[in-house]
Amino acid sequence: MNFQAPEGTKDITPEQVVLWNRLETAARETFARFGYEEVRTPIFEYTALFHKSSGETTDIVEKEMFTFGDPEDKKGTYSLRPELTPGTIRALIEGGLFAKKNFWKVWYLGPAFRKERPQKGRYRQFTQIGVEAAGSPDPLVDAETMVLFAEILKAVGVTAWELRVNSIGCKECRPVYREALKNHIRPLLPTLDENCNRRFERNVFRILDCKVDADKLKDAPKAIDHLCQACKDHMAVVEASLKACEVPYRIDSRIVRGLDYYTRTVYEFSSSALGSQNALAGGGRYDTLVGSMGGPDVGSVGFAAGVERILLAMGGEAVPPAPDFFAVAAGDVSRSDVFKIVVDLRRKGLSGDLDFEARSVKAQMRSANKTGARYALFIGPEEVQKGVIKLKDMKDGTEKAVFHEEAVNILRGGKK
């Protein structure tokens, strides 16, 4: 019987890991430069956490969570996390971190799970990398998260991206906008699909997300035209900061983000290098989330990006780094002696391998070639006895026997 991976999951092969690590290293380095610290939280949480934070009426919570456990249990069921923000904020609050300092800039990387219909770029297990800057209402922080993600894209060579930004207001101006939107959409309801009709009462902003009836909604009132003065001022600083940092963006009134907790700034990065699933990252400000989860009443902002989508946008050849050497056991040398030399070299920081199948010298040379090693090391009984290694430069074919110490120098520096 042949087993298959569960629908909507992807294996990461050693070749893909090379690209993955390039992204992860670039991201870690960028986060550090921007002053973000790493956090790691469980991959499942009590289901109630997601109901409270992501929102009852969002697709993610309504239909896409993998939930398990005993519903009769006092604390309720568990759900695999469909996103990492709720767990991260919970961890900051539960760990009492806000008592230590009132502004936390953290980042995370880890799997998320959504029961979606799988397609290219859309999986049931995928990986999110993201940040939460929790504890400041400053619009400069909104801009910082966007600049930060643009820097990560630059570091991994993704150039075909677009940033769309919007402001959806705050608890003062959002209700006014909600009414204006409802009044505009109400007469259109009979012409809109079932999903939009359902959203009308539950979460009217999400109708703007609708792909099917997008045309019918093109004249819908815009949140950005209904902002209170404080929200307008906030947005003006965000825009000015993006311009000052030369991060290109455009205002798009259709960005509402699917989750309930957003206030003011919302944004999405997308890539024209991807197909229909072209969103690279989504984020925004959520000024009420921390307070509503039992933490201090502080504003936060963050984004989550899809690692698999960034990898697709990076494309390109993933070439694993070539090892420094491949050791060839020549003649009737003891393979244990060769093994010991290889381990010694590895302990000195060099990378390389030997043949584990006791094959002929010719076959071992083929392996040396395949690995792309810079040097082949010939070790026969004579070399062992004299304490030397015969180095063959795989680029120019020259050979030379040297003592171990000299071999280490050559392998380290690539000099002959």
Residues 19-58 that bind ligand AMP (CB under 6 A): none
390 contacts ligand AMP (rule: CB under 6 A): no
CA 200, CA 214: separation in Å to the nearest integer?
15
CA 364, CA 341: separation in Å to the nearest integer?
16
Please list the helix, strand and coil fractions of the chain in percent, rounded to the nearest 5, in that order: 40, 20, 35
122 contacts ligand AMP (rule: CB under 6 A): yes
CA 409, CA 260: separation in Å to the nearest integer?
60
279 contacts ligand AMP (rule: CB under 6 A): yes
Q: Tell me the β-bridge partners of 133.
A: 105, 301
Residues 327-386 that bind ligand AMP (CB under 6 A): none
Task: Count Cβ atoms below 10 Å from residue 252 Cβ, excluding itself.
Answer: 17
252 contacts ligand AMP (rule: CB under 6 A): no
116 contacts ligand AMP (rule: CB under 6 A): yes
Strands ordered across the beta sheet of 44-46: 44-46, 78-80, 67-68
Task: Count Cβ atoms below 10 Å from residue 416 Cβ, excluding itself.
Answer: 12
CA 86, CA 29: separation in Å to the nearest integer?
25
Residue type for 350, please? L
From its phi and psi, is residue 199 left (phi > 0), alpha (psi between -120 and 50) or beta? alpha
Q: CB 56 → ligand AMP: shortest distance, Å?
A: 16
Q: Which of 217, 227, 280, 333 binds ligand AMP (CB under 6 A)?
A: 280
Pick the stretch among 14-22, 120-128, 220-228, 401-409 that binds ligand AMP (CB under 6 A): 120-128
Q: CB 4 → ligand AMP: shortest distance, Å?
A: 19
Residue at shortest CB range from ligand AMP: 306
Q: CB 116 → ligand AMP: shortest distance, Å?
A: 5
Per-residue binder mask for ligand AMP (CB under 6 A), 290-329, x = binder: --------------xxx-xx--------------------
Q: Where are the alpha helices (DSSP H) in 158-306?
A: 174-185, 194-202, 229-244, 289-292
226 contacts ligand AMP (rule: CB under 6 A): no
Q: Which of 104, 107, 108, 126 binds ligand AMP (CB under 6 A)?
A: 126
Residues 49-108 that bind ligand AMP (CB under 6 A): 83
Binding residues for ligand AMP (CB under 6 A): 83, 114, 116, 121-123, 126, 128, 258, 279-282, 304-306, 308-309
